[in-house]
Structure 1
Amino acid sequence: MSRPAYGGGGGGGDLPAVFPDWSPYQDLESAARAYLRDPDVAMEALNGVLRGASVLGFTLERFVNEVNGVWQEVAICDGSRLILWHGEDVPPDDGPAGSMTSSLRVVPVSTVSEVGCRRRLSRNPTGQIRVDSIDVYLLLSSLDEGVPGDEAQLPPRHDALRFGKTLDDGGAGQIARLEEFARLVASVVGRPTL
């Protein structure tokens, strides 16, 4: 199954609706090269911040939307920081064909005030339980930027990082890897940094 190619960043032809599975790869670079459309852009940005730090865990996301084309994300935990890379195709009206944004964000783990993980479970007729989906959020002590002009109408709320995987979007391997990432971040929240 494939979706029509977006005129933005992916070159010619159709983009697959289901991307290769990154979950078997334990090292970040191999997983990124297997899964992301633009692994060189992502790894250049991430390596500039990592500078030899150990990657204790990571999760990857990629999808195609009808407005901006390909959207990609990498989230890494090195024990003291969350390092997030995001790449997204630029809409045709915002730049020349093939343009994309590449964004990097570094969040100290000390700013994570809460880690939440919700799994949806199903039971088959024999009673065996499987995980159908997982939703993870990391609540930060920083405030959400919100929409300009809405400050008077809405009370400020804390910023949050959200990640999700389902059997249809990622499969059992990526669900397990996202849960592993959530447990890693939860294990370092509140501990003294090195």
Structure 2
Amino acid sequence: MSSSVFDGGESSAVFPDWSPYHDLEAAARAYLRDPDVALEALSGVLRGTSVLGFTLERFVNEVNGVWQEVVVCDGNRLLLWHGEDVPPDEGPAGAMTSSLRVVPVSTVTEVGCRRRLTRTPDGPVRVDSIDVYLLLSSLDEGSVPGTEGHLGSRHDALRFGKTLDDGGPGQIARLGEFAQVVSMSIGRPIQ
């Protein structure tokens, strides 16, 4: 297992698998470094609403330390929690940011799901990566008309990915399920 040192502490670069947990709290506690921070932020918005699907991400950045994300779909909204360590030169040791974004599912105009398939020597096809995007009706902050260097408007998009090396087959499958939940929430399931 590889690891990275940040602010004198050691952070694992390989994390436990959250995919066996179908309960958000159990998955967050198994996978995130700061599950209490994430769950507190999300619970203030969920307030008893059913979680239809979720996906989690975590990685170690050599500059900033640990980066974590939880994305939840409750059928009406996407709740995106993001936690990131503050670089050592931008705050005290151990400081992190915690942010929450709520996006109405009605603003999702398109769901895309691309799987990379490989055929094993004995013939079966295996999914070895998945990329999911959610195109939103809002404009990307970097492409606002009238700003310097504006080359045209571009819609905001949320992107998620998993590979065999980053998450394994369980998380690949769970991200595919999350894409289906979101697509069913906007009216059409994806195959």
TM norm structure 2 = 0.94
Matched, 1:5 2:5: yes
Quick check: 90-99 or 151-160, which moved more?
151-160
Change in Cα spacing, 1:113 to 1:147, as seen in structure 2 (3 Å) is: closer
Q: Deviations over 1:141-191 (max 9, x none)?
A: 000111799643321210000000000000000000000000110111148
Higher RCO by CA contacts (8 Å cutoff, separation 6 or greater)? 1
| Equivalent residue number for residue 132 of structure 1 | 128
Residue aligned with 2:5, SS: coil
Aligned partners of 1:112 and 1:139 also within 8 Å: yes
Change in Cα spacing, 1:50 to 1:135, as seen in structure 2 (3 Å) is: same
Change in Cα spacing, 1:85 to 1:143, as seen in structure 2 (3 Å) is: same
Q: Deviations over 1:118-141 (max 9, x none)?
A: 000000111101100000000000
Question: What amino acid is aligned across from residue 179 of structure 1 in structure 2?
Answer: G
Mapped partners of 1:151, 1:174: distance in 2 = 40
> Is there any run of 5+ residues in structure 2 with no aligned partner, and where?
none
Matched, 1:48 2:44: yes
Aligned partners of 1:110 and 1:190 also within 8 Å: no
Aligned partners of 1:75 and 1:82 also within 8 Å: yes
Matched, 1:152 2:149: yes
| Equivalent residue number for residue 171 of structure 1 | 168
Residue from 69, 73, 78 that aligns with 1:77: 73
Q: Deviations over 1:49-87 (max 9, x none)?
A: 000000000000000011211000000000000001000
Residue from 15, 18, 32 that aligns with 2:14: 18
Question: What amino acid is aligned across from residue 140 of structure 1 in structure 2?
Answer: L
Aligned partners of 2:134 and 2:159 also within 8 Å: yes
Residue aligned with 2:63, SS: coil
Q: How many residues align?
A: 187
Residue from 72, 82, 85 that aligns with 1:86: 82
Matched, 1:38 2:9: no
Deviation at 1:17, TM superposition (A): 1.7
TM norm structure 1 = 0.92
Mapped partners of 1:130, 1:17: distance in 2 = 25
Question: What amino acid is aligned across from residue 60 of structure 2 in structure 1?
Answer: V
Question: What amino acid is aligned across from residue 6 of structure 1 in structure 2?
Answer: F
Question: What amino acid is aligned across from residue 79 of structure 2 in structure 1?
Answer: I
| Equivalent residue number for residue 65 of structure 1 | 61
| Equivalent residue number for residue 179 of structure 2 | 182
Mapped partners of 1:25, 1:142: distance in 2 = 32
Aligned partners of 2:72 and 2:80 also within 8 Å: yes
Question: What amino acid is aligned across from residue 20 of structure 1 in structure 2?
Answer: P
Note the aligned Cα RMSD (angstroms): 1.6
Quote the sequence identity (%): 79
Aligned partners of 1:5 and 1:15 also within 8 Å: yes
Change in Cα spacing, 1:60 to 1:24, as seen in structure 2 (3 Å) is: same
Mapped partners of 1:150, 1:166: distance in 2 = 37
